[in-house]
């Protein structure tokens, strides 16, 4: 341990196409972060190619680690523990970060803390504001769309989730069908600010559960674009982006509203890459005002994949007694418990 009551955790994240290392003090204070993004590499393929992603993680991991320690002006001796994303994610990508973390923990004799990627996204919020319980975490990313109730730190209860595609995945596919580059989410979000809701699209899963469904909405957009093309009509991209985003966000806020009321929630946090959406931010703020609940949404740099959130979550995981040994394995799928 560093000074009394000071815990410096080095976090590593490599679950998808970002290689990232970060040092965070006491789960709340970012000391230094380095992110090597592979977006430009995968763009030409229209999405992340797992084998290529793992190869780049191998190339980047040592450089990113050294750069982070240099940026923080710290040595491994001053680090108290290593937090690692063990899953869920792309297995080949996860393994690179995991092996690096295990090696560091072994050589420097530091505790190894296993962090679930979604716990990381949730704890991105603790870098901005103290988490207050009970809270509702609205997890919206490229791989997840879930409503998680938390009664305390590291006490997660899943209320519901997507039955098929994740919302970010749906944003990316809609973007692709109208010719926008990967990742399409931010581009759709931007177009939606200037478009109008002119295209009629089905609101997914209007039921009494806390679940979501995005594959029907995705198919509806794809069919609409193909039909218009066959008729020789030009698609108005801005209006399609707005029409899609309004429906996608409405399906989130409807279920969030139900959870706030039924579970008597007072604090809501939004987590994951799609939390960067201006459209979602505005809709969530409106809902929070209407129901008089506190809302926290991390700044964009903490929304998309990064190791800062992993180091922050690692602190609370450590306090919860979650320490792993060298048998820790990567898991492409794993429940948040």
Please report, as ranges, the residues that interact with Zn ion according to CB under 5 A.
141, 305
Q: Which part of the chain contacts ligand KG4 (CB under 6 A), choosing from 36-44, 65-73, 183-191, 289-297?
A: 183-191
Exactly one of 97, 204, 273, 314 binds ligand KG4 (CB under 6 A); that residue is 273
Task: For Zn ion, give the closer residue by CB, 221 or 303.
Answer: 303
Exactly one of 138, 218, 305, 318 binds ligand KG4 (CB under 6 A); that residue is 305
11 in contact with ligand KG4 (CB under 6 A)? no
143 in contact with ligand KG4 (CB under 6 A)? yes
Task: For ligand KG4, give the closer residue by CB, 252 or 274.
Answer: 274
**Helices vs strands, H then E, count in the chain:** 11, 10
* Shortest separation between residue 179's beta carbon and ligand KG4, angstroms: 15
- Rounded distance between C-alpha atoms, residue 302 and residue 51, angstroms: 26
- Rounded distance between C-alpha atoms, residue 165 and residue 73, angstroms: 42
* Shortest separation between residue 303's beta carbon and ligand KG4, angstroms: 7
- Rounded distance between C-alpha atoms, residue 20 and residue 221, angstroms: 34
277 in contact with ligand KG4 (CB under 6 A)? yes
120 in contact with ligand KG4 (CB under 6 A)? no
- Rounded distance between C-alpha atoms, residue 318 and residue 280, angstroms: 32
Residues with Cβ < 8 Å from 125, sequence gap 6 or more? 131, 269, 271, 296, 297, 298, 302
Tell me if 331 sits within 8 A of 85, measured CB to CB: no
274 in contact with ligand KG4 (CB under 6 A)? yes
186 in contact with ligand KG4 (CB under 6 A)? yes
Residue 125 binding partner per list ligand KG4, Zn ion, none, with a CB distance cut-off of 5 to 8 Å that depends on partner kind: none
User: Is residue 271 classed exposed, middle or buried when 0-12, 13-18 and 19+ CB atoms within 10 A define those classes?
Assistant: buried
- Point out which residues pair with 11 in neighbouring strands: 22, 83
- Rounded distance between C-alpha atoms, residue 317 and residue 1, angstroms: 16
Residues lying near ligand KG4 in the complex (CB under 6 A) are found at 16, 141-143, 168, 171-172, 183-186, 189, 272-274, 276-277, 304-305
């Amino acid at each position: 341990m560093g000074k009394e009551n000071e815990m410096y955790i080095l976090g590593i994240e490599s679950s998808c196409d970002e290689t990232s290392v970060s040092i965070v003090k006491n789960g709340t204070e970012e000391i230094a972060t380095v992110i090597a993004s592979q977006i430009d590499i995968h763009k030409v393929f229209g999405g992340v190619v797992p084998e290529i992603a793992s190869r780049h993680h191998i190339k980047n991991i040592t450089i990113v680690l050294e750069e982070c320690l240099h940026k923080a002006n710290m040595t491994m001796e001053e680090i108290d523990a290593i937090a690692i994303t063990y899953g869920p994610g792309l297995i080949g990508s996860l393994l690179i970060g995991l092996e690096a973390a295990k090696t560091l923990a072994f050589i420097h004799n530091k505790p190894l803390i296993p962090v679930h990627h979604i716990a990381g996204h949730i704890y991105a919020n603790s870098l901005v504001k103290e988490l207050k319980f009970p809270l509702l975490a609205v997890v919206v990313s490229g791989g997840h769309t879930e409503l998680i109730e938390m009664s305390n730190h590291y006490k997660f209860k899943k209320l519901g989730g997507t039955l098929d595609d994740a919302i970010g995945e749906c944003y990316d596919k809609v973007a692709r069908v109208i010719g926008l580059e990967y990742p399409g989410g931010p581009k759709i979000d931007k177009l939606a600010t200037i478009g109008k809701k002119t295209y009629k699209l089905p609101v997914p899963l209007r039921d009494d559960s806390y679940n979501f469904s995005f594959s029907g909405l995705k198919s509806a957009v794809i069919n609409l674009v193909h039909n218009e093309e066959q008729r020789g009509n030009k698609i108005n991209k801005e209006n399609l982006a707005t029409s899609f985003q309004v429906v996608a966000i409405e399906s989130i806020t409807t279920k969030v509203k139900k959870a706030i009321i039924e579970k008597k929630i007072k604090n809501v946090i939004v987590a994951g890459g799609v939390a960067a959406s201006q459209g979602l931010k505005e809709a969530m703020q409106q809902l929070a005002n209407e129901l008089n609940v506190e809302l926290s949404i991390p700044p964009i740099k903490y929304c998309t994949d990064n190791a800062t959130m992993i180091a922050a979550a690692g602190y609370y995981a450590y306090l919860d007694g979650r320490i792993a040994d060298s048998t820790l394995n990567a898991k492409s799928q794993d429940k948040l418990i």
